[in-house]
Amino acid sequence: AEYTEIFQITDTAFFEEGEDDVLFKVNASLDITDDAMVYGTISEGYRRGGSNAVPLSGPFAEDPGWLQYDSDSAINYELGIKGTTGRMRYSAAAFLVDWDNVQLNTASSNWAFFTAANGDSARTSGLEFELDGLLADGWHYNVGYAWVDAELTSDAFAPTAATRLLAADGATLPGTSEHTLNGALDYTTELRNGLTWMTRLNAYFQSETENALGDFGRARRLRR
């Protein structure tokens, strides 16, 4: 069951919204050896809708269609393996996420305000790897890498005009970097009186991301 009511007085809007649904998750695993396991997961995700803080009057007045965005949902498929070998633990996984009515970061009609809007559909797929283990007594390391391909799978239009294209099918989703790499190295030693001293070095890299959807987002790329 779903309902939405909008109450507007001059340039102020109030929203009441409710939804009722059931989310599911299915998970299975299999030990292929004493030290390795494969697993698979299918699960459903959900994000509630919300509102955008855009003015309805004054020199930067926006169309009321930008005031609200709806909930979205996703189905996630994941297949992976985990295990140990010697002094090392490892994991690898492949995943696919299908989005419906996907919430997107974009900009309002006159590009003056960051807003959220709903697109029709999107897809995120990728691979993840992680290694964790001991190099020698007291020395521990961790390395992780992820590759992600996140894009629209249909054209996205503005909520105020079905003819205003926000981004075309195949456009990169905002906030998602294609490559992410992280690593850590630490050394632990025992001191007197039962105290422990740890020295740790961390490193992190990610490729560029889109700040928002479409041409507005491409003009404002973020790099970390």
pLDDT confidence bin for 214, thresholds 50/70/90: low
Mean pLDDT of the chain: 86
CA within 13 Å, CB half, 109: 18
To the question of pTM greater than 0.85 for the whole model, the response is no
86-92 contacts, C-beta under 8 A, 24 or more apart: 86/133, 87/133, 87/134, 88/131, 88/132, 88/133, 88/134, 89/131, 89/132, 89/133, 90/129, 90/130, 90/131, 90/132, 91/128, 91/129, 91/130, 92/127, 92/128, 92/129, 92/130
Of the two residues 17 and 154, the one the predictor is more confident about is 154
pLDDT value of residue 216: 52
Q: What is the pLDDT of residues 53-79, one digit of tens each?
A: 888 888 878 888 888 899 999 999 999
Q: What is the pLDDT of residues 123-158, one digit of tens each?
A: 999 999 999 999 988 999 999 999 999 999 999 888
Q: What is the mean pLDDT of residues 70-94?
A: 96
